[in-house]
Structure 1
Amino acid sequence: MTSLMRFKPGATFMKTSGNTILITGGASGIGRALAEAFHALGNEVVIAGRRREALEQTAAANPGMRMALLDIEDAAGIADFARRLGDDFPALNVVIHNAGIMRPESLRDGALATAEATIATNLLGPIRLTAALLPLLETQAHGAIITVSSGLAFLPLTLTPTYCATKAAIHSYTQSLRYQLRDTPLQVLEIVPPYVQTELMGPEQASDPDAMPLREFIAEVMGILTQSPQTDEICVERVKPLRHAEASGGYAAFFRQFNDGRTAAAKARG
């Protein structure tokens, strides 16, 4: 078993149908695929993000799916968004913190714009939105907070240092949140993706043969949610070498091999 297990008296677990689910970054990539998978199972799904056109296209392709504009970097906007969401969707019981950015950085050039935007989006966004939604979520049955970290939280890709650092922080935050909410009905889950065929780092990633096909990733994630609802960390088989890199021994050699290979691949792509 790849995860810590949640054992507490009277524990309830998230159902895969009959929920009202908010998914940030739900208009593309993993977020859209999760939204479509949950929508197909009979959940009311609300996708949120910055790009109205992308949200509208996704909602139009999935009749009945709802959408809401959200700038996850805007602290004041998050509080207002949560209030509106509670008014419009009082049965909201699940949030999936999927919105994220991943950009290469050179740490020697002194530029901080990418680092600051990445921290605001990937780390502060989920923290702020969780705080804003907790009063509503704690009143709901079978509620859940789901974060999306990364295999790179456990073995960083040095080309994207702040992205990896935010995902490591999300993993740590998720563990603390789970423990602090242990006396509530809320389940706290963490999805740990590997390298997946999305456009997170550009169009070429969506067809990269080294990346896991998105459809396969979502199918495995939904299978884990269905078959092992008590699992705290949702780790597909493909991410386990990264997830357990430290514990499996040989971390330093694996770190060098992994990063040398990714650097060479990036240079080959130009």
Structure 2
Amino acid sequence: MRLQGKTILLTGGTDGIGLRLARQLRDKGASLIVTGRTPERIAAAQTEGFEVIAADLAGPGGVEAVVAGLAGRSIDILINNAGMGAEHDFRVAPPVAEDDERTFWLNLHAPIRLIARLMPTLRARGEAMIVNVTSGLAIAPNAGSPVYCASKAALRSYTLALRAQLKGTGIHVLEALPPVVETQMTASRAGSKLAPEECARQIIAAMESGKDEANVGMVRVLRAVYSLSPALARSIMLRF
């Protein structure tokens, strides 16, 4: 898809991968409407010239805030990027139920509900796109973040089915699967991390080329291992 002149709604666009996506998409000539929930980051994004809808998508009110903020305007592309992880490791401490619920809302329920609410305007565009950002952990989970993995695996499954439903409608469905990326969410994690700018670049390249999946960075290796032996891929990832 040619991105110049497209109007894009990007959730979680005031920080991390989302902010880099917003900047690079604007450089491609797209018009961006981003969502955010932290006042300081919203203000910073507005200073950069982005239109921001304040919305906490970790609960049902956030979806309504986004729809109200659009005020009936048409969009060409919906990017469901906003995400979070919950500490859910019994080896460390008992999980917090409220954190689990917010994770499922933000990572799974909000994308599904936004797609449902915005489907009429996407259908009316003739050429449109939905981008769901899942994770390499949607392919094979690790042991330390089962709720995050489960929410992303569920969104991956939904995305595969949605693509089949929308075949021939003019709405392209892209799944983006990042590896561990250098963001605030991963700040406490050791090891190699992909720069968010590079992650955004690879996702946008997949949007432009019409791919069904953007296997970003080391996720390409995981996909290759999984294609040869799902059991081996799961065994490797569950060590982390």
Name stretches of at least 5 consecutive residues in structure 1 with no aligned partner: 1-13, 263-270
CA contact (8 A) 1:102 1:160 kept: yes
Shift of the 25–77 alpha-carbon distance from structure 1 to 2, 3 Å rule, reads closer
Aligned-partner Cα distance in 2 for 1:93–1:223: 17
Q: Residues of 2 paired with 1:257 and 1:77: CA distance? A: 36
Match of 1:97 among 80, 84, 90: 80
CA shift for structure 1 position 216: 2.2
Residue pairs, 1:142-157, within 5 angstroms: 142-157=127-142
Displacement of 1:199 after TM fit?
1.4
TM-score (norm 2): 0.90
**Count of residue correspondences:** 238
Counterpart among 22, 31, 44 of residue 9 in structure 2? 22
After TM superposition, give the deviation of residue 177 of structure 1 in Å.
1.1
Correspondence 1:214 to 2:196: yes
Question: Counterparts in 2 of 1:174-185, with a 5 A limit?
Answer: 174-185=159-170
The question of whether the paired residues in 2 share the 8 Å contact of 1:35 and 1:45 is answered with yes
Match of 2:180 in 1: 195
Q: Distance in 2 between matches of 1:104 and 1:143?
A: 36
CA displacement 1:205-240 (0-9 Å, x = unmatched): 5xx5511122222223333333x22x1111134211
Asked if the contact 1:15–1:142 (Cα under 8 Å) also holds between the matched residues in 2, the reply is no
**Which residue of 2 is the match for residue 240 of structure 1?**
220
Equivalent runs, 1:1-270 vs 2, <5 Å:
14-60=1-47, 62-63=48-49, 65-87=50-72, 90-107=73-90, 109=94, 111-202=96-187, 204=188, 210-226=192-208, 228-229=209-210, 231-249=211-229, 251-260=230-239, 262=240
CA RMSD of aligned residues (A): 2.1
Q: SS at the partner of 1:147? A: strand
- Give the CA deviation at 1:73: 2.6
Q: What does the per-residue CA deviation read over 1:8-39, in whole Å, with 9 as the maximum and x for residues that have no partner?
A: xxxxxx32221111111111111111011101
Is this contact kept in 1: 2:37–2:56, CA < 8 A? Answer: yes
Q: Which amino acid aligns with 1:122?
A: N
The answer (yes or no) to whether the contact 1:152–1:242 under 8 Å persists in 2 is: no
Q: Matches of 2:139 and 2:207 in 1, distance apart?
A: 22
CA shift digits 1:67-124 (9 cap, x unpaired): 111121332442353144143xx23111100011013312473642222111111000
Structure 2: distance between partners of 1:44 and 1:151 = 29
Q: Tell me how far apart the structure 2 counterparts of residues 103 and 201 of structure 1 sit (CA, whole Å).
A: 12
The answer as to whether partners of 1:104 and 1:160 remain within 8 angstroms in 2 is yes
| CA distance in 2: counterparts of 1:86 and 1:139, whole angstroms | 16
Distance in 2 between residues matched to 1:96 and 1:120, nearest whole Å: 16
SS of residue matched to 1:200? helix
Native 8 Å contact 2:84 2:148 kept in 1: yes
Q: Which runs of 5+ in 2 are unaligned?
A: none
